[in-house]
Amino acid sequence: MDVSRRMVLTGALGAVGLGVGIGCVVVASGLLGAPEAAPTPTRVPTPLPSPSRSPGVGDLELHAWDRVVRSISTTQDATVTLVDGALPTGLAIAGGALVGRPTITGPYAFRLDVNEGPTRHRRTYAGEVAPIKRDLSVSLTLDATTPMSVTEKELDRIALLGANATLVILCFIPDATSTTFTRVADARIQRAFRLARERGVRITLLKPHIVTESEADNFYRANYAPDSIDAFFANWGRQLQYFARLCAENDVEYLSLTCEQPGQTDAAQYDRWVPLITRLRAAYPRLKLTAAFTTLELFLLYTHWVPANTPHLARLLDVFGINSWVRLTDKVYTPDAPNISVDDLVAGWRGAGGRTDDHLGKLEFVCEHLRLPFLITEVGVRPHVDGLAKQEGSQPVTGARNHDVQALLYRSVLRAPFESAWCTGASIWHIHEPFAFGDPRHDTLLAGERVVMDAIARTPSFATKDF
Q: How far apart are the C-alpha atoms of 122 and 232, rounded to whole Å?
A: 48
The per-residue pLDDT for 51 is 53
Residue 420's closest CA among 457, 380, 366?
A: 366
Q: How far apart are the C-alpha atoms of 437 and 455, rounded to whole Å?
A: 15
Query: Domain 132-463 - what CATH class?
Result: alpha beta
Q: How far apart are the C-alpha atoms of 158 and 440, rounded to whole Å?
A: 9
> In Å, how far are 81, 140, 183, 205 from 169, measured between CA atoms?
43, 9, 7, 11
Question: Would you say 289 and 317 are in contact if contact means Cβ atoms under 8 Å apart?
Answer: yes
Map out the domains of the chain as residue ranges. 17-129, 132-463
> In Å, how far are 97, 144, 380 from 318, measured between CA atoms?
18, 30, 24
147, HSE (Cβ side, Cα atoms, 13 Å): 3
Task: Please list the pLDDT of the chain residue by residue as tens digits (467 residues).
Answer: 554 444 333 333 333 344 433 233 333 333 333 223 333 333 444 555 555 545 578 999 999 999 999 999 988 889 999 999 999 999 999 989 999 999 999 999 999 999 998 899 999 999 999 999 999 999 999 999 999 999 999 999 999 999 999 999 999 999 999 999 999 999 999 999 999 999 999 999 999 999 999 999 999 999 999 999 999 999 999 999 999 999 999 999 999 999 999 999 999 999 999 999 999 999 999 999 999 999 999 999 999 999 999 999 999 999 999 999 999 999 999 999 999 999 999 999 999 865 658 999 999 999 999 999 999 999 999 999 999 999 877 789 999 999 999 999 999 999 999 999 999 999 999 999 999 999 888 889 999 999 999 999 999 999 998 75
Q: How far apart are the C-alpha atoms of 210 and 216, rounded to whole Å?
A: 9
The per-residue pLDDT for 45 is 46
CATH architecture of 17-129: Sandwich (2.60)
Question: Would you say 220 and 259 are in contact if contact means Cβ atoms under 8 Å apart?
Answer: no
Residue 347: CB partners within 8 Å, gap ≥ 6? 353
Residue 375's closest CA among 359, 390, 363?
A: 363
- DSSP class of 423: E
